[in-house]
Every structure is written in structure tokens, then in C-alpha cells.
Structure 1
Amino acid sequence: MNELRGRIDERFVKACELMLECKGRIVVLGMGKSGHIGNKIAATLASTGTPAFFVHPAEASHGDMGMITQADIVLALSNSGSTPEIVTLLPLIKRLGITLISMTGNPQSPLAQAATVNLDAGVTQEACPLNLAPTSSTTACLVLGDALAIALLDARGFTAEDFAFSHPGGALGRRLLLKVEHVMHSGKELPQVPRGTSLSGALLEMSQKGLGMTVVIEPDGRLAGIFTDGDLRRALDREIDVRSTIIDQVMTEHGRTARPHMLAAEALKVMEDHKISALVVVDEQNHPLGALNMHDLLRAGVM
């Protein structure tokens, strides 16, 4: 793989520039093992901000060539550079005026000679002891393909949030797209009691809502504090009378809060940093809108 470092040259830069300026999609072609690598390269390009898809060269000769437009760029993979199914398509690609980038192990091959830019993916020896099965050569193509994708990602200013939009079903997508408002309990689900409520009354509210906490509200509707299962344990350790004690005496004043548009992953970090299991969600005037706990984030797949 050290040999590949020298291949990141002016030809690589030219290929990146062509792909960056492409108004259509990157269409990746490859037969056999090169086809499997091409499929992966197309998927990586598409998920990192460069629209791309794979077309099987044999199918292209039987109708799928219609999937390729003049606005597209073809990225063709072939270790020998003379794969018949790809070479057959070269006159048509040229006739349509489609830009061709090749990735071959033979810069003198028909495919390399026909390309606007050829990326040298040649290797001195396959990892296969017979020097026959595509092993080192396919790895070299994969590395060059990933290098193209990452160079384009960087040039486009592609962000982690952009990546998340391409992966909404994955763990990263959930962490970067899911917001507090999507998982918080609000409305009638939000446990809340006014200042002056008895501790027993607050416990009843907690039991009914099942969040292991309750919000305590000021007379003007703003957040006064929060009372959690942890506060209850500490109160019982002090042998406080549940019936005669009011919530104001045992609640945590104000407490840590979150905003509805905050990422759920940010809320998780607040909980972890402060070793707490619940957060009150408030608006800009500090009026409680909802609440969430660790279990909510766990169910949402943020943890």
C-alpha cells in the first residue's frame, strides 16, 4: 500500500476536479471482483455527498446503458484494462461525450488509453500465492476509491450532519438527527406539581406519570426545581416525614435543563457529565415543556 501514496498525484487531483464539477452522477463500472469493489466505491461516494451508482457492464450492453447520461462521469475499474464487457462500451461512451475515468493495473491498456484520466492501481504481486486471484489488486482499487470519496467529501465541506442524513437508520443518524423534542414527555405525560405541594402529593404524581421524577413549578409557571428518585432516597436517609414535608424542602432548586431543539446526544452528554438520570426541557422563559430520562434515550437508540 506504500506504493499507492505516490499515486496521489496530478492525475488523482484531475480525477477529483472532474468528479467535483460533475453535474450528474458518478457511474461506476466493473466486472467480477472489480465489480464488487465498484459497488462499494459507488456506495461510499453516494453516502459522502457525491451522487453515484453502480452499473454492471454486461447489463449495460443490454439496455442499462440508458441509465447513463451525458452529464454523468463513468468510473471504470479493470485490473487488466482490457475486460471485454467494458471495452465494448468504450466507443459508445466516447460517442455520447461522457467523461471517462479509469482505474487499472495497466496504463497501456485499451481502457486506460481511452480514459480522460487513468488512475494507476497496479500491484507487483497478488497476495494469492498463485499470483492469480484478485487480492492485492482489488485492495488497491478499494483504497484509491476511498481516497477519491474522502477527497471529494473534504472539498465539498461535507459535515457529520450531512452524513447522518444519508444514514438515518444508523446509530450515527440517530445521534445527529434526533432532537430532545422527539423523545421528551410533554403535555399530560409531564409530571409536575406547584410549590408548596406535600412530598406525599409529589410522590403520587411521580407514581402516576412513571418517569421517576417530577417538575416543581413556580406560581408564574416557571421552573422552580426538580425532584427525582435520587432526591427521595436522600430524603429518606434524613428520616424526613413524607406526609408533613413540602416539596420545596427536598427538591433540587432549578436543576439541569435542556432545550427542545437540542440534539438528544447533547442531552445525554449533560446527563453523563453531571451524573444525573433526568432532564427538564424548558423554553427561553424557563417554562417547563417536557422531561426525558436515560431510559428514553436508550429506547431511542442514542446510547
Structure 2
Amino acid sequence: MKKFSSSDIVRLSHQVFDVELNGLKQLKQRVGDEFVAAIELIMACKGHVVVIGMGKSGHIGNKISATLASTGTPAFFVHPGEASHGDLGMITSGDLILAISNSGETEEVLTILPLIKRMGAKLISMTGKPNSNLAKNSNVHLDISVTEEACPLGLAPTASTTATLVMGDALAVTLLEMRGFTKEDFAMSHPAGSLGKKLLLGIEDVMRTGEDIPRVPLNADFAMALLEMNQKGLGMTAVVHNNGQVAGVFTDGDLRRTLDDLADLKEKTMVDLATPNPVLIHYKKMAVEAAQIMEAYKIHSLLVVNDDEILVGALNIHDLLRAGVV
């Protein structure tokens, strides 16, 4: 076995980058009328984009279908081998087929072409052979050919699969722009992701309610407020009127300032010690807005109120962290 130095290893990796980058530059130069036609076909499709491909093309096709689906173009992947054994029933005349085959002669794909044609579904193909049977039988053909593979043996699909993947990304992102797809739309299809949590979680989903809300009445003394803060663990307590309307807030910062001046502390109530007109957030707001408010005001907790500024909840930065909002 040949021994490779560190510089040899780095050089080999650079060769791969160079070959694949060159393939992408060639691919970019070929994007034109056929790409536009493919986009127009997909935009006109009333059903799903059904991606098919065998082997490495199938793996890339799976990723392309997932990218399309998550960026506003309904899509799914069908294995062409399984399609011949029943899965073809998943495809309807209103769908559009995106068939991927570097050779354009993949038997499992060609076998189902007559059936696709018979049902009237449109066909876009991605191949590295514009004169192949698959290319010739397509409504639109996208040329994904490369002059060489990064594999020194010229056998393992490398540059060609990269070119296919990038062409799929180009389709998905172009369609995203044309559909006016937004961050909010993206979040709807990724509710468990970080963006979905930021854009979809409401204050009501993360706030503490009921007995977990720290609160004391206006006439509460310092000791009662301190006990409430310790028990509820939010680093503050609301000070409320008899009807639950927020009159102020007493925070850790207020506590430190109070302890700096112990004079007549026993004679004072929360009316005297609390900070009036605290920063509040409405319970119908989004959780990400709470994070923005905390950042803007350099605070770690918020009181949650309804339309009448009646206290209905409380939350702190740790609640937002646990929910994945920040």
C-alpha cells in the first residue's frame, strides 16, 4: 500500500474540489430555455412532483423531492423498481414526473415510461446523455452531464451526482421565489425545527399559569414578596390589584436596591417597593416576541396579560430556552 503524506492527502482532496467545481461551472453555463420550460411545467402542475431514480440517482432524487416539498412544491419520491410492482398507483395524471438517470438508459425507469405516457403525466428528465432514450421521451430534458468524475477510476458517481443535486436545488429555490414562499410557510412544514418553534410557538404555549405565576397584592410586605419569588423561581413577582390587574413588578434588581436601604423596611409594602408600569406582553403574542423584548430591555422575565392588563401568565428566558425559541 502506497504511503501518503499530509500534503498528498490535502492535494487529493483539492483535486476532488477542482473537478466538482468545474462540473458545476459547466452546468451553470447550460442553464437556459430548458430550465425555464421545466420551471413552467412544475408551476403549472396541479398535483405532485414525483421524483424517480435508481441507485445513486435515487438517493439524490430522495433529497431533491424532500427539498421541493419543504420549500412549497408538493413532491415525493417513488422507487422505479417498486413502481413496477404496485407503487405506480401513487402517480396520477395530474402529477409531474422528474426522472433522474445519468445514463438515461436505466432499465427500471424506461420500463415505466410507457405507463407514465399513457396516463398523461408530464415528464422532466435529468440525464448526462441528451441523446438517451429517457431524454428523447421527455417533455423537458435537463442536461446534467460532466466531463469527468472526481473518482480517479471514473466509476463512482461523484461530480455527476453533485451536478444533479445542484440542479435540483436550483429548481427548488427558483420555485420558492416564484411562489412567494416565506419563512412562515417554511415553519409550517418544519414545526419541530428551530425556525418552526420561533415562528409558530405562542406565548400561551410556553408561559406559566395558575399557581405557578408569582404574584402578591399591593399591601404585601417585603417578606411575603421575597417568599413568593423564592417559591416560584422566576426572579420576580407581579404586584397586582384585587382584580388581578398588574400594578407593578418586584424583581431581583429591586430586591438588591431594597437591601441597600434597610431603613423602615418593615413599614413598607409592595406599593412602595415595586417598579410601576413594568414591561408586559399580551398572551396572544408569539414566543419569539418575548425573546426580542427581553433582549431589548435587558430583562430575563416577563409578565403576561390579557386585553385589560389582567395577569394571566409569566415566563422567563429559561422557559424560552427549553421551548427552543432561543
TM value normalised by structure 1:
0.95
CA distance in 2, matches of 1:128, 1:234: 69
| Native 8 Å contact 1:24 1:71 kept in 2 | yes
CA distance in 2, matches of 1:208, 1:11: 67
Is 1:148 the counterpart of 2:184 in the alignment?
Answer: no
Amino acid at match of 1:227: F
Aligned match of 1:47: 70
Shift of the alpha carbon at 1:232?
Answer: 1.0
CA distance in 1, matches of 2:49, 2:94: 9
Shift of the alpha carbon at 1:35?
Answer: 0.4
Aligned match of 1:176: 199
Size of the alignment, in residue pairs? 303
Is 1:234 the counterpart of 2:257 in the alignment?
Answer: yes
| Native 8 Å contact 1:27 1:52 kept in 2 | yes
Amino acid at match of 2:324: G
CA distance in 1, matches of 2:27, 2:220: 71
CA distance in 2, matches of 1:220, 1:67: 60
Q: Give ranges in structure 2 of 5+ residues lacking alignment.
A: 1-23
Is 1:14 the counterpart of 2:37 in the alignment?
Answer: yes
Shift of the alpha carbon at 1:45?
Answer: 0.8
Is 1:131 the counterpart of 2:154 in the alignment?
Answer: yes
Structure 1 segments (4+ residues) deviating >6 Å: none
- Counterpart among 199, 210, 213 of residue 233 in structure 2: 210
3-state DSSP class of the match of 2:76?
Answer: strand
Give CA deviations for 1:175-225 in whole Å, capped at 9, x if unaligned.
Answer: 111111111112332222222321112122223333221111245643211
The answer to which structure has the higher helix fraction is 2
- Counterpart among 198, 222, 246 of residue 269 in structure 2: 246
Shift of the alpha carbon at 1:96?
Answer: 1.4
Amino acid at match of 2:200: L
Aligned match of 2:305: 282
Amino acid at match of 2:302: L
Out of 264-273 and 207-216, give the one that drifted further.
207-216
Q: Give the alignment's Cα RMSD to 1 decimal.
A: 1.6
Amino acid at match of 1:73: L
Is 1:99 the counterpart of 2:113 in the alignment?
Answer: no
3-state DSSP class of the match of 1:268?
Answer: helix
Amino-acid identity (%): 58
Is 1:78 the counterpart of 2:107 in the alignment?
Answer: no
CA distance in 1, matches of 2:239, 2:263: 19
3-state DSSP class of the match of 2:146?
Answer: coil
Aligned match of 2:10: none
| Native 8 Å contact 1:216 1:223 kept in 2 | yes
Q: Give ranges in structure 1 of 5+ residues lacking alignment.
A: none
Aligned match of 1:193: 216
- Counterpart among 31, 47, 52 of residue 54 in structure 2: 31
Shift of the alpha carbon at 1:240?
Answer: 5.2
Give CA deviations for 1:257-282 in whole Å, capped at 9, x if unaligned.
Answer: 11112211121121122211101112
CA distance in 2, matches of 1:204, 1:54: 59
Is 1:119 the counterpart of 2:142 in the alignment?
Answer: yes
Aligned match of 2:21: none
Amino acid at match of 1:245: K
Give CA deviations for 1:89-130 in whole Å, capped at 9, x if unaligned.
Answer: 111111111100001111111111111001111111111112
